[in-house]
Amino acid sequence: MADTIERRSLSLQGAQRVIEAAIGEAARAGLHVSVAVLGSNGQLKAFAAMDGASILSTETARKKALTVIKVGKGTQEFASDLKKEMAEEPELFHGMLAMDGITAIGGGVPIQVGGHMVGAVAVSGASSAQDQEIAQKAAAVLG
């Protein structure tokens, strides 16, 4: 067994491509959002807040992206899983949401390259469905 592991992560150039794709999608839809892109280690690689984006969307985008890194899945899927488990284990639901940097709001998705999660992108400032759609399209530019 190896004593170390190799982990692929998003480069700054890749993160900037994802940001540009998200901003372009939001602009075409007439939306004003914030976008956060993290590497697989949780490091903030790129961030943008469009003119007119709310201050709240800044922090929410970062938290959504961090949630993806922490739980290994998109925030919409994570929220769905938590809701299913709430009836059986309400303490799990409340405990997870009380953790720092965890949110169960759609709009955060993993960035996959070659079958490996190399980072996360999250969008905030529109509806959860719109955030989710923009984030999925942005993540796909590297896939």
72-93 residue pLDDT tens: 999 999 989 888 877 777 777 7
What is residue 113's predicted lDDT score, i.e. its pLDDT?
Answer: 95
**Cα separation, 112 vs 143, whole angstroms:** 6
The overall average pLDDT reported for the chain is 93
Q: Sign (positive/negative) of CA torsion 106, 112, 115, 116?
A: negative
State what percent of residues in the chain have pLDDT above 90: 76
Q: Is-above-0.85 flag for pTM?
A: yes
DSSP 109: E
**95-133 core/surface letters (b: 16 or more CB in 10 A; e: else):** ebeeeeebbbbbbbbbbeeeeebbbbbbbbbbebebbbb
Is residue 106's pLDDT more than 90? yes
**Cα separation, 58 vs 52, whole angstroms:** 11
Mean pLDDT of 118-138: 98
State what percent of residues in the chain have pLDDT above 70: 99
What is residue 83's predicted lDDT score, i.e. its pLDDT?
Answer: 83
Which of 80 and 121 is assigned the larger pLDDT?
A: 121
May I ask the CATH class of domain 12-139? alpha beta
What is residue 81's predicted lDDT score, i.e. its pLDDT?
Answer: 86
17-31 residue pLDDT tens: 999 999 999 999 999
3-state secondary structure labels for all residues of 21-69: HHHHHHHHCCCCCEEEEEECCCCEEEEEECCCCCHHHHHHHHHHHHHHH
Report whether 123 contacts 131 (CB < 8 A): yes
